[in-house]
Structure 1
Amino acid sequence: MARYLKDCRVPCKHTGDDLRALCRRQRLVCQQLNVTRDNLNDYEVEYLCNYRKFKDQEFFLVKWKGYSEAENTWEPHKNLRCPRMLRQFRRDLRLALLLANRPLNATSLDAPSASFLLQKAKQRLKLLRWEEQLNRTCKHKGRIFVLNEVDMDGPPTDFMYISDYKIEKGVKARQAAVGCKCTNCIKDSIKGCCAGAADHRIAYNDSRQVKVRPGLPIYECNSRCSCGPDCGNRVVQRGIQYDLCIFKTANGRGWGVRTLERINKNSFVMEYLGEIITSEEAERRGEKYDKQGVTYLFDLDYVDDVYTVDAARCGNISHFVNHSCDPNLQVYNVFIEHSDERLPRIAFFATRAIKAGEELTFDYKMTIDELDAESTKMDANFSLAGIQDTPIKRMRMECKCGAENCRKYLF
């Protein structure tokens, strides 16, 4: 039996940090985990959860990684080499004292303040672990960060982060895309490259910025093409290129997404990912979502309203993007590995230059005006390809986007 299992590998349920802490606890040296005799007695702070001051010396109650809370110890400031964690703890400490209406120079904490600090520390730990999980799942250049400075909410429950569409029963593309033979798909495309095969033009310029009008489809090169991964007609398939942050909004809009880097106008930002389901299944799920008062159904109705993307339980960072009546993202329909017009990929491009730190938004009731003759197939249904939310229509949900041209209600 052993000879069959010799090369067997299974994922470990513990992180590297957890395993290093376990080695130190058991006094084990492990070269692979970089636990040596020189650093065997180094212990890692998991979080700080209380504070007191005695004879002008500061002490912090430390939860050690790999040890239970019963083994927490009070440590003087000089014993701690975690400056970033200490800065964050001091911000939380100031907030705890303000909430308790206690002096900011208090030498000890009352029970409610200590409880607040403990909850905040555990929340940050949960969000950090979720952040690490998101970045392990992602297959793109851009990193994802998570921040909640508003309340005690941790990671959303019953949500699985995915890096590609999840195809459900009854969904199948009818027509595979034909590959091109170009050497330079942007400057020297043969017969219009992949876009020309569908009677359209290349959608991108030399800087990978979209140059066609909203409403027109985008046809990218695919796995059958002769060009390589650096081809200028491969943009959406390269994935998110910017560092983004999922953050808790302060005005009751739940989670939102902001960019941590400047994004140039007409640049690709992200796809709207989720489960691809049939319209019949979408109708069934919609009835369930109606009772909950929210849904994440996005109709793929470039030609026919046959399939829908549902990002409620499975999705990517677009799941957290909020609505705005003055959005900085615009939807385009993109085709890559197939040319089945019932199954476009939904891609968000920047409508203008977006500053670092700015929230990313799109209009849940988007419409395309003054479409040219090339995009007549999209004219009838594109305005319906936004977030579907029947109960919100009935409830007249107030819009909180804050834009000058705000319509006051989402629906």
Structure 2
Amino acid sequence: MEENNNNTVHASDSVDKSRIVEAKPLRSLAPVLPNHIQSCFPANYPSGFPPFCSFEKPREIPIPKGVEEIAVDAKTAEEIPGSAKEKTRETPVAANVTPIRFYKSSVDEEVNPRGGGDVNLFSKGLNCDEFVDDRVKRGAQNIQNCKEFLKRKKNKKTREAGVDGQSSSVGVNPSLNDDGNHESVNHVLMTFDSVRRRLCQLEDSKELNSSLSIKRADLRASNSLTLKGVKTNLRRRAGAVPGIEVGDIFFFRMEMCLVGLHGQSMGGIDYMSIKDGSKEDTVALSVVSSGVYGDDTEDNDVLVYSGQGENFNKKDKHVTDQKLQRGNLALDRSAQRHDEVRVIRGLRDATNRSAKIYMYDGLYKIQDSWIERGKSGGGIFKYKLVRLPGQKSAFAAWKLIQKWKSGSASRNGFILADLSNGVESIPVSLVNDVDDERGPAFFTYFMSLTKPKPFGLVQPSLGCNCKASCLPGDLNCSCIQRNEGDFPYTANSILVSRKPLIHECGTMCRCLPNCKNRVSQTGLKQHVEVFKTRDRGWGLRTLDPIRAGSFICEYAGEVIDRAKVCQNDEGDNDEYIFDTSRIYQPFKWNHDHGLLGDGSSNVSSEDYTIPSPLIISAKNVGNVGRFMNHSCSPNVFWQPVLYAENNQSFLHIAFFALKHIPPMAELTYDYGFVLAGHAEGSSAHRRKMKCLCESPKCRGFFG
């Protein structure tokens, strides 16, 4: 092999890769199970938290016509005496073991879908093997035990299928399991994060059972969804994935697994086997670049990806070369076939340096490959991937934003560095690259409410007595008691659940100003900018990736009487009105107790409980919240928050991220609408405006 000065050898130079790697046929990589291993689930694994062995869809047994299916979850299977789980060690080893499932006929009798209805042939019919008589008897006994157990089971809600054959409320429509869409992807991601947030809350308060406690809430949340079938895009594929757009962000790898973007929870290369004529081949589907192996280049549309595998044997202390197998082999084959490969880019999370944020950067093709000597001297495969033209800018825009924030790059349409004039701890830029307008109408920037009206829900003497900071799980804290015993935020200030009313600590509390229960009182935490839209006036967008549940801002302004709103009939309309009594589209954001299995019977309501209508005008006084436009499919929602100031309690409106929001995305919320005959009077019909959100769920108007 002949090397150049860079210690690299390009594919175009006709490299003989066999001289540095051991090429093996793909079939040699198939796992060989010893006889004593009967299942990928260890028998002594903690109950309720099975490991994930694969993200592929389990094989389904066809259900006979007219037969009712009874779903048996993992927890139920553990409680069944003499169940198949107890007989795991006696099950013959098979390449693909189909899990036992029970079907109930109209005569309350288990039916074998492959054995003509003969109960005694149930186990035999499942695997099509000739079982000895004693095993057939044990299988029949297991069925009888299950039958008796299921009759004793009182709570059928978690086992039975939904109404009219549809999936349960937390699941995914069966028609979208293999090939999803935007709605199914959004549902899975929001469901995952709701469970993860709740697990973090329980972990913070030490309420998790010690045998189930786990630091990685994302792993346990993923397992819960996998067991319940809350996944989409299960069909493995090359190219684009339905429902996932270029520029979408993910805070956990498990999110990408659940929606079919990248099937490896840890591996950087996802691949699959395909039939290529008469032979079987392997191709790459996607790669995740973590940004720690020198993969990034000056050209953000080019990725130089390092192959997988150690190139230094720590045990024997000698240099080794990466081998042309698994993901490396898949990338090599995809390069020869000119296949499209999905690329996910990773960057450090600015709010948590130990974590990463992943962005889907679209489709790439492998243009070149070579072998490069690593620092240890071993051979490393390198693959040059080039982004396909015509795709939305994603990672390149993200990198450009970082340059804008650091001041190392100029931008078109830039007007003002800080619209808040130093009121916010993070500057708010003002940009217009659409027309010549130099900015919105004059207003006074203020972070909260002016002329607020007190609400007599909380007496000043009831402030908490916490010395430093309120601690999750401390039921002696009066503020936690008012929040139904739960601390409303996680350790990193993420809202856990929507509540009828959230109680935060105020000036009468003895805890310090940096208490975690004062999230909505501390101003902006993300870089945002006010920008001119093409058809909806001024808007607000984020320059940072925002995690679901993050605080955005308060709706600041002047608290006004309803009578003053009605006066707009004779004057100019106030377009900056926020009214809590309007009708808002309902939505579910909190976790489902059936998914989590936390044993809680109190399902928190997501319907707001507001003492009396609150109307805020941000026309003359306000903050960035006044620039958020309406959308029928918003990415931000509002939450009423109550806390004490100067011996009185005041209601505030706080905005939180409904879902993960990528950089440069516009921030929108639902303005709601006023019903005919509402107390706002004849001005109600005047404020109805045509909606321009263009979302699939657009109702056509707002206000």
- Range into which the TM-score falls when normalised by the shorter chain: 0.5 to 0.7
Equivalent residue number for residue 398 of structure 1: 690
Q: What SS does structure 1 have at the residue aligned with 2:479?
A: helix
Asked whether 1:361 is paired with 2:645, we answer no
Query: What is aligned with 2:579?
Result: 299
Over aligned residue pairs, what C-alpha RMSD do you find?
Answer: 3.5
Pick one of 220, 223, 229 that aligns with 2:507: 223
Is contact 2:432–2:531 with CA below 8 Å preserved after alignment? yes
Structure 1 residue 196: deviation in Å? 1.2
The amino acid of 1:271's aligned partner reads E
Q: More helix per residue: 1 or 2? A: 1
2:445 matched to which residue of 1?
A: 161
CA distance in 2, matches of 1:222, 1:304: 18
What's 2:569 paired with?
Answer: 287
2:257 maps to 1:257? no
Count of residue pairs the alignment pairs up: 264
Q: Which structure is higher in RCO with an 8 Å CA cutoff and minimum separation 6? A: 1
Which structure 2 residues correspond to residues 46-85 of structure 1 after superposition, within 5 A?
none
- The answer to whether the 8 A contact 2:449-2:558 is kept is yes
- Counterpart for residue 532 of structure 2: 248
**Deviation of residue 236 (structure 1)?**
0.4
Contact 2:644 2:650 in 1 (8 A): no
C-alpha separation in 2, matches of 1:133 and 1:308: 25
- 8 Å contact kept, 2:473–2:486: no
For 1:258, give the aligned amino acid: R
Q: 2:498 matched to 1:202?
A: no
CA–CA separation in structure 2 for the residues paired with 1:329 and 1:321: 9
- Farther off after superposition, 191-200 or 260-269: 191-200
How far the C-alpha of 1:398 sits from its partner, in A, is 2.0
Larger Rg belongs to: 2
TM-score (norm 1): 0.56
Alpha-carbon distance in 2 for matches of 1:316, 1:342? 22
- Deviation (angstroms), 1:296: 1.9
Percent identity reads: 29
Q: Could you report, residue by residue, the CA deviation over 1:366-410 in whole angstroms, capped at 9, with x for unpaired residues?
A: 8xxxxxxxxxxxxxx9x99xxx89757447532111212212222
**CA 1:365–1:307 in 2, change beyond 3 Å: closer, same or farther?**
closer
State the AA in 2 paired with 1:180. C
Distance 1:409 1:268, change over 3 A: same
TM-score with structure 2 length normalisation? Answer: 0.34
Q: 1:287-317 deviations in whole A, cap 9, x for unaligned?
A: 35xx535522223555454542111111111
Measured against aligned partners, the alpha-carbon deviations of 1:216-265 in whole angstroms (never above 9, x if no partner) come to: 21111122222223322120011110110100001x10000000001111
Tell me the distance in 2 between the aligned counterparts of 1:353 and 1:339.
36
In structure 2, the CA distance between the partners of 1:184 and 1:395, relative to structure 1 (3 Å rule), is closer
Write the distance in 2 (CA, Å) between the matches of 1:241 and 1:359.
Answer: 16
- Counterparts of 1:304 and 1:338, CA distance in 2: 17
1:294 and 1:391 in contact (8 A); partners too: no
The DSSP-based 3-state class of the residue aligned with 2:521 is helix
Report the 3-state secondary structure (helix = DSSP H, G, I; strand = E; otherwise coil) of the residue aligned with 1:194: helix
Structure 2 residue aligned with 1:271: 554
Segment drifting more, 232-241 vs 153-162: 153-162
User: Structure 2: which 5+ residue stretches go unaligned?
Assistant: 1-406, 582-608
**Contact 2:557–2:621 (8 Å) recurs in 1:** yes
Contact map agreement 2:541 2:667 (CA 8 A) in 1: yes
1:333 match: 640
Distance 1:147 1:393, change over 3 A: same
Partners of 1:85 and 1:265 in 2: CA distance: 30
Which residues of structure 1 form unaligned runs of 5+?
Answer: 1-83, 92-119, 367-380
2:543/2:663 contact within 8 Å kept = yes
Instruction: Please say if 1:191 is aligned against 2:476.
Output: yes
